[in-house]
Structure 1
Amino acid sequence: MYIAPNTIENLLSEAEKESLYLKLIEQINKDFNLANEPIDFHLSIKPDELKVQLHEKVYKLIQYKFAEYLNLLYIIDVSEDQIKKLDGSDISELAEQVAFLILKREWMKVWFRKNY
C-alpha cells in the first residue's frame, strides 16, 4: 500500500529519489494549462523554488481569481473533503496547505503512472 508523504519537503525529496521530479513538474505544468492558468515551471527549477512559486500562484488565485482557483482544484482532482477541512482564516497559510494538496495529488498521478 502506498503512503503519501506528509510534508512538501518529504514529497519533493521522494520525487527526486524516485527520479520522478521532472515528471512531477511536467504534470503540474500540464494540469495548470488545462485549467487555463498557465504556469511554466522550468525543468531545472529547484524543489524549494517550486514550493515558493506554487504557493505564490495558489495565493494569487485564492485572492484574485477564486472561480479559476476552484476550476484548477477540480481539474487536478484535489479532494473536496480535504479542502473543506482546511482553516481559511489565514490566506497565506491556506495557500500553503492547498499547494501541498495539489503537489500530493500530482505526485500520486506520476507515481501511479510509473508503478502501475
Structure 2
Amino acid sequence: MEELNTTQEILDRSIQVDLYKKLVQQLNKDFLSANVDLSFDEAVLPSSLKLMLHETLYKLIQEKFMDYLNLLYIIDVSEIKVKQLDGSDVFLLSEQVTFLLLQREWQKVWFKHQYS
C-alpha cells in the first residue's frame, strides 16, 4: 500500500482506483456506528466530503468531545498519531484529524478490495 500524505491525495487515489464510492460507504457505516449524525450521499464531491468531515470534527471537538473520542475509537484512528498532534489550535487539529480519519478509512477500503 502506497503512502498518501494529504487528504487530497487520499481522495484522488480513491477516485483513480474506483474506490471512492466504497470510501464514502465506509465513512457512512462508521459514523452510524459511532452515533454521529452525518451521512454522505455516494455522489458527494470530494471537496464537499473533505469540508463536511472537517466541520463535523471541529464541532465534535468543541461541543461533544466524548462523541469525538468514540468516533476515533470506532474508526480505529491511531491514538499515538492523535496524541502527537498539537491541540492548541482546534481548527488545525480538526484538519489534521480529518486526514488521519480518512487515512484509516482508506486503509480499510483498500485492504478489503485487495483481499476479497
Bin for the TM-score computed over the shorter chain: over 0.9
Residues 14-35 of structure 1 show CA distances to partners (whole Å, capped at 9, x for unaligned) of 0000100000000001001000
Counterpart code for 1:10: E
In structure 2, what is the equivalent of residue 80 of structure 1? 79
Structure 2, gaps ≥5 residues long: none
SS at match of 1:19: coil
Write the distance in 1 (CA, Å) between the matches of 2:27 and 2:3: 17
TM-score normalised by structure 1 residue count: 0.97
Deviation at 1:80, TM superposition (A): 0.3
Write the distance in 1 (CA, Å) between the matches of 2:114 and 2:3: 14
Residues 34-65 of structure 1 show CA distances to partners (whole Å, capped at 9, x for unaligned) of 00103111111110111000000000000000
Counterpart code for 1:24: L
Percent of aligned positions with the same letter in both sequences? 53
In structure 2, what is the equivalent of residue 17 of structure 1? 16
Structure 1 vs Structure 2 CA RMSD: 0.6
SS at match of 1:88: coil
Structure 1, gaps ≥5 residues long: none
SS at match of 1:89: coil
Task: Say if 2:38 is the partner of 1:32.
Answer: no
Contact 1:58–1:95 (8 Å) recurs in 2:
yes
Which runs of at least 4 in structure 1 moved beyond 2 Å after TM superposition? none
Contact 1:4–1:104 (8 Å) recurs in 2:
no
Deviation at 1:72, TM superposition (A): 0.5
Counterpart code for 1:108: Q
SS at match of 2:87: coil
Write the distance in 1 (CA, Å) between the matches of 2:25 and 2:3: 19
Q: How many residues align?
A: 115
